[in-house]
C-alpha cells in the first residue's frame, strides 16, 4: 500500500501521522487515505473495537499502524499516543486532533454544567494536550503539520448547540495561538471547520436526535447546496491542509461548508 500516490501534493511516503478519533467518521476515512499515500499511522480512539478493526484492515493492505485506545480528555492519553509514535516509528511528522463529541439540541437557558464540562474535556482538552506533546515531537523532526478539527459552529453562532459551539470556538483560538508560536519552527497548525456531514455523530449520535430525518432536513436547508456534506469531501481538504507540499499556510480556520459562510 505504501507510497502508491506520487503527486507531490498527495505523497505522504515516509511520513508518520497521528490521528485521534480514528475509529469512525473523518478519522477512519483519513487514516485510509493517508495509508494509501504511504504514511505510517498512530491511531487513537475511545472505542477499542472499531479502532482495532480499522488497524487490522490497514495492516492487511500493507500499512504500518499502531492503534491505542484511550480518552483524549486525559492528558496521559495524549502523551501516550505521541510516545507510541516515537517508540514505534522513531518520530512524528503530523498530527490530526479529530476526536470530538456533540450534545443534543437544547436551548441556551437549559444547558447545564455537566454538558459544558464534558464538551470542554473532550473537544478542548483533547486538542490542547494533544498539541502540548505533538509540538515538541514534530519540531524534533524539523517541522511538519498539525490539523485540528473544529466546526462551522466554531466560526459563528450555533443555535441549540451552545456548549459545543463554545468548545469549537476554543479549538480555533488554540489553533491560531499555537500557529503563531510555532511558525518560525516550520510547524504549520490549522483548523478545519466542516458543516454538518454524514458522520456517525450526525447520523447516529446526539445531533441526530429522535427525529433524524427532520433534523437532517433542517440542516440541509441551511446550506446553499441544500444538502449535508459527505465525509470524503471533508477528507479531501484535510489531505490538502496536511500535505508536505503545503508549506506557507498556517493559523487558518478553513470552512468546508457548502457555501454557508458566504452569506
Q: Find the catalytic residue in 133, 164, 195, 196.
A: 164
Is 164 assigned a catalytic role?
A: yes
DSSP secondary structure letter of residue 229 = B
Composition of the chain by helix, strand, coil, percent to 5:
50, 15, 35
Residue 229, beta-bridge partner list = 197
User: For 134, what's the count of Cα atoms within 13 Å in the CB-facing half-sphere?
Assistant: 32
Length of the chain: 263
Measure the N-to-C terminal CA separation of the chain; round to a whole number of Å: 42
Cα–Cα separations (whole angstroms), residue 94 to 28, 103, 144, 154, 156: 16, 29, 6, 23, 28
Separation of alpha carbons 100 and 191, rounded Å: 13
Helices H / strands E in the chain, number of each: 9, 7
Sheet holding 65-69, edge to edge: 65-69, 40-45, 16-19, 94-97, 144-149, 187-194, 253-256
- Give the H/E segment covering residue 219: helix 212-221
- The set of catalytic residues is 164
Amino acid at each position: 500500500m505504501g507510497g502508491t500516490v506520487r503527486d507531490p501534493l498527495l505523497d505522504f511516503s515516509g511520513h508518520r501521522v497521528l490521528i485521534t478519533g480514528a475509529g469512525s467518521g473523518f478519522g477512519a476515512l483519513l487514516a485510509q487515505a493517508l495509508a494509501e499515500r504511504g504514511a505510517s499511522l498512530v491511531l487513537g480512539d475511545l472505542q477499542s473495537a472499531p479502532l482495532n478493526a480499522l488497524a487490522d484492515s490497514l495492516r492487511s493492505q500493507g500499512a504500518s499502524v499502531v492503534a491505542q485506545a484511550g480518552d483524549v480528555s486525559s492528558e496521559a492519553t495524549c502523551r501516550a499516543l505521541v510516545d507510541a509514535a516515537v517508540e514505534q516509528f522513531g518520530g512524528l511528522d503530523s498530527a490530526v486532533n479529530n476526536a470530538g463529541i456533540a450534545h443534543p439540541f437544547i436551548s441556551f437557558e437549559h444547558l447545564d454544567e455537566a454538558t459544558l464540562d464534558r464538551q470542554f474535556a473532550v473537544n478542548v482538552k483533547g486538542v490542547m494536550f494533544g498539541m502540548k506533546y505533538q509540538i515538541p515531537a514534530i519540531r524534533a523532526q524539523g517541522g511538519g503539520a498539525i490539523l485540528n478539527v473544529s466546526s462551522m459552529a466554531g466560526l459563528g453562532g450555533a443555535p441549540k448547540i451552545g456548549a459545543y459551539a463554545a468548545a469549537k470556538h476554543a479549538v480555533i483560538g488554540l489553533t491560531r495561538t499555537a500557529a503563531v508560536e510555532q511558525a518560525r519552527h516550520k510547524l504549520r497548525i490549522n483548523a478545519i471547520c466542516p458543516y454538518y456531514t454524514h458522520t456517525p455523530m450526525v447520523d447516529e449520535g446526539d445531533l441526530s436526535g429522535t427525529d433524524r430525518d427532520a433534523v437532517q432536513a433542517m440542516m440541509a436547508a441551511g446550506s446553499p447546496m441544500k444538502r449535508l456534506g459527505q465525509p470524503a469531501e471533508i477528507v479531501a481538504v484535510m489531505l490538502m491542509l496536511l500535505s508536505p507540499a503545503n508549506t506557507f499556510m498556517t493559523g487558518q480556520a478553513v470552512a468546508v461548508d457548502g457555501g454557508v459562510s458566504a452569506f
